[in-house]
Amino acid sequence: MSIIKSILRWARKKSLWVLHYNSGGCNGCDIEIVDLLTPRFDVERLGILAEASPRHADVLLCTGPVTAQSRDRLIQIYNQMPAPKWVIAVGSCGCSGGVFTGSYNIHGGIDKAIPVSMYIPGCPCRPEAVIAGILKLSETID
């Protein structure tokens, strides 16, 4: 492996930029994600940076089940992210559809629309669990 590739891998591992998307949840998990991005947790010290554009994001933090209305948009966002990219399903709804399972417009968890690298259950998911998940994901980049 060239030295440039190793530097790129090291930089990516130490600085994962995350994009948050709610594909149809109740907003409970989203409030927890917003909480983890506040100075209380100061995740930038860990290299985690909130990014607004999928074109600059490494990780998609996705909450909620996949609804019929959001499915195409979720796939479009995923396709706009540059490789390598990872998806974390946040909350019970993101993992499996959760309390919305069986509803007429619900496809299920995030993996019903796009590939998922990590599942973090909880209703809602705690900010500490999401931070631990992102750091665990960064360990696997090697």
Residues forming the site for ligand SF4 (CB under 6 A): 25-26, 28-29, 63-64, 91-93, 98-99, 123-124
Q: How far is the CB of 55 from ligand SF4 (least distance, A)?
A: 26
Nearest 5°: phi and psi at 98?
Answer: 50, -135
Q: Which one, of 139, 140, 94, lies nearest residue 120 by Cα?
A: 94
Element (H, E) at 95: helix 91-96
Q: Nearer to ligand SF4 by C-beta: 24 or 77?
A: 24
Strand 17-22 relative to strand 66-67, pairing: unpaired
Q: Which of 93/138 has CB closer to ligand SF4?
A: 93
Q: Toward ligand SF4, which CB reaches closer, 49 or 131?
A: 131
Q: How near is the Cβ of 134 to ligand SF4 at its closest, in Å?
A: 17
Is 49 in a helix, a strand, or coil?
A: strand
